[in-house]
Amino acid sequence: MAVSFVKNAFSSGYRDTNPLVKLLSGLFGAAALATFLLTRFLLLPPMAYAVPAVLLGIAVLIPKTLMVANQWEKGIVLRLGRLRSISGPGLFWIVPFYDEVASWIDQRIQTTEFNAEQALTRDTVPVNVDAIVFWQVHDTERAAMEIVDYRSAIERVSQTTLRETIGSSPLSALLSQREKADAYLKDTIGAKTAEWGISVISVEIRDVSIPAGLQDAMSRQAQAEREKEARVILGSAEAAVAQQFLDAANLYGTNPVALQLRAMNIVYETTKERGATILIPSAMVDAMNPAGLMGLVQGLKEN
């Protein structure tokens, strides 16, 4: 019966996670049980039962007196309902039944996921947005005293701010300017949670989902824009080629010798690549004759 009493008392004390508190309470409980059995076995007078009673009392009071806070947390200690101290990390003690640890505040960086479903953008497009906020408690007293449940409050504030951001932004900005939206959400949410002793480290938008019909329309629009750019580039290339042909035609028109040399080069390249025999009219052969070319040039000079 003494062991079960100690076990029940211990389980209602500290968070049942620290080995030191378990060990000390268990040792005193075992000592109380052993002393009680020894007293009964030796048939000692009733006053001898005070020793196991004292040991049992110590075993019960240890988990209600000794507290151990982890490196990343602090305990809010209240005395008769008023704040006495903020203790931790490490080992500290409180007065049983007079003090109590009201809550434990985790000071590590924590994350909260939030989303906005079917929220309308400024250009009336329904979107689903998923985001995550990284935050940390920097003022333990305010986080414990100013708000009941700061975790739920952060989620609600983040969700409301996200909906406001979506409503004031066009769809194109949400899709292409996420870094700007993340910075705005961080500043806005951080300004609201600073009053609770909580700092917002960063906010990241993870996904922006749009209706399937709108995705198809945007895909067709992007494809049409790419085809438009391709046609513009092709037209520019054709215009450049045409200009080159025009410049060549003007050059050949003012310089017959260049035209004749070009014709001879074409014939040479054709026979070189294909190895075929080409029949050329005699008039064209005479025109390609160097002597004929010299006569043509001389005639042009005389004229």
Helix axes 2-11, 50-65, angle to 10 degrees: 20
State the pLDDT at residue 287.
Answer: 56
User: What number of other Cβ atoms are within 10 A of residue 246's Cβ?
Assistant: 10
The whole-angstrom separation of Cα 10 and Cα 63 is 6
| Euclidean distance between CA atoms 181 and 127, whole angstroms | 15
As a whole number of angstroms, the distance between CA 66 and CA 14 comes to: 8
**pLDDT value for 222:** 67
Domain chopping of the chain, boundaries: 2-106, 110-210, 212-253, 255-303
Residue 20's region, left for phi above 0, alpha for psi from -120 to 50, else beta, is alpha
Q: How many CB atoms lie within 10 A of CB 159?
A: 20
Q: Which amino acid is at 197?
A: G
Q: Does domain 110-210 have CATH number 3.30.479.30?
A: yes
Q: Residue 92 CB: number of other CB atoms within 10 A? A: 16
Give 254's Cβ-side CA count (13 Å radius).
5
Cα 160 from Cα 151, distance rounded (Å): 15
Between strands 66-69 and 82-87, the pairing is unpaired
Q: What is the pLDDT of residue 160?
A: 94
- C-alpha span between 291 and 124 (Å, rounded): 81
pLDDT in tens, 108-119: 999 999 999 888
The Cα 268–Cα 262 span in angstroms is 10
pLDDT digit string, tens, across residues 255-284 = 777 767 777 677 666 666 655 666 666 555
**pLDDT for the residue numbered 22:** 82
Q: Which tokens is 167 given?
A: 């409503």
pLDDT under 70: residue ranges of the chain: 1-17, 214-219, 222, 259, 264, 267-303
At residue 143, the pLDDT reads: 93
**Amino acid 159: pLDDT:** 95
For 20-44, give one letter per residue: b (16+ CB within 10 A) or e.
ebeebbbebbebbbebbeebeeeee
Output the six-digit token pair for 246: 């025009």
* Structure confidence at residue 24 (pLDDT): 86
**The tokens 């014939």 sit on which residue?**
267
Per-residue model confidence (pLDDT) at position 88: 86
Look at phi and psi of residue 273 and say left if phi exceeds 0, alpha if psi is from -120 to 50, else beta. alpha
pLDDT at 279: 64
* pLDDT computed for residue 232 by the predictor: 86
